[in-house]
Homo-oligomer: A and B are copies of this chain.
Amino acid sequence: SSLEETVKTTVAENPVVVYSKSWCSYSSEVKSLFNGLQVKPLVVELDQLGAEGSQLQTVLEKLTGQFTVPNVFIDTLQLYNKGQLEPMLAEANAK
């Protein structure tokens, strides 16, 4: 489906993607975690996308087996190629 293609493209083009809900504390914690690591994720707030948000949540479950948020995609190869992987791991280890 075209929404599946959208998700696959989003995840391919962005080293870190967080599918989130804006009022969800678990989602907030993941977003601050990446803030603290100076990696800037692409954040998709599913609750702010109306009907498309719940459709996306269903597509994510189909693609990953996970229905819940936060749903986090990390492309370590892309991060490595951008020189961002080792700094991120170093900072994470320092915490």
Q: Which residues from chain A sit less than 8 Å from chain B, CB to CB?
A: 23-26, 68
Contact = CB atoms under 8 A, between A and B. Distances in A.
The 4 closest A-B pairs by CB, nearest first: A25-B26, A26-B26, A24-B24, A25-B25
Main secondary structure of the interface of A (DSSP, over half): loop
Contacts of A24: 24-25
Contacts of A23: 68
A23 to B, nearest CB: 8
A24 B25 CA distance: 9
A26 B28 CA distance: 12
A26 B23 CA distance: 12
A47 B88 CA distance: 38
